[in-house]
Amino acid sequence: MKTKKDLVNNWIIKADKDLKSVEHELTFEDAVTETICFHCQQAAEKYLKAYLIFLEIPFTNTS
């Protein structure tokens, strides 16, 4: 079973990957802004989930 620290770290790693995608897309002259915005929003959600887990605040999965 994963620890709280493992869960928090996993969400942070996933969020960091979204931001890495944003940084990569921004290197293109014809960057796709919709993709950039999507990954920024996804990163924010994942960081928030990590924080909620850290604070032990339950949330529901809406996917």
Nearest 10 degrees: Cα torsion 10, 39, 55, 8: 10
Q: What is the mean pLDDT of residues 28-48?
A: 98
Residue 63 has pLDDT above 70, yes or no: no
Is the Cβ–Cβ distance between 8 and 53 less than 8 Å? yes
pLDDT band at residue 61, thresholds of 50, 70 and 90?
A: confident
Evaluated on CA atoms 50, 51, 54, 58, the torsion sign reads negative
Residue 51 has pLDDT above 90, yes or no: yes
Angle between helices 4-25 and 33-54 (to 10 degrees): 160
User: Helix (H, G, I), strand (E, B), or coil: what is residue 48?
Assistant: helix
- What is the pTM for the complete model shown? 0.90
User: What is the average pLDDT value for the chain, to the nearest integer?
Assistant: 96
Q: What is the mean pLDDT of residues 38-61?
A: 96
Q: What is the mean pLDDT of residues 9-27?
A: 98
